[in-house]
């Protein structure tokens, strides 16, 4: 696994982060996030694909990993899907 990416704020770095982890398995992505901040799982018992990431700088972002392999960032009143390119 690569280790040369610094994640400060998942919301603003979504596209770059998603390109960085491209090709990784979901468990590898979650493991990397846990190693680089705090990952909160089980936010909602009915949705085990919804997470909250808090970086070591204290920036937090809700996100979802979809079943079809996409990263969706939860914003205040909308969502944003990270792009590969």
- Residue numbers of the domain that contains 35: 14-81
Is position 4 within any domain?
no
Burial class (CB in 10 A: 0-12, 13-18, 19+), 57: exposed
* Number of structural domains found in the chain: 1
Q: For the chain, what's the residue count? A: 85
The pLDDT score that the predictor gives to residue 57 is 92
Is position 72 within any domain?
yes
Q: What is the pLDDT along the chain (85 residues), one digit of tens a residue?
A: 556 888 999 999 999 999 999 999 999 999 999 999 999 998 878 888 899 999 999 999 999 999 898 999 988 888 999 988 6
Strands (E), 1-85: 37-40, 50-55, 60-65, 71-74, 79-81
């Amino acid at each position: 696994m690569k280790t040369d990416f610094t994640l400060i704020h998942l919301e603003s770095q979504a596209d770059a982060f998603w390109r960085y982890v491209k090709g990784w398995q979901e468990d590898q992505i979650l493991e990397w996030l846990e190693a680089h901040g705090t990952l909160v799982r089980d936010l909602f018992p009915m949705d085990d694909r919804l997470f909250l990431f808090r970086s070591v700088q204290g920036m937090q972002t809700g996100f979802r990993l979809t079943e079809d392999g996409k990263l969706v960032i939860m914003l205040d009143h909308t969502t944003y899907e990270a792009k590969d390119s």
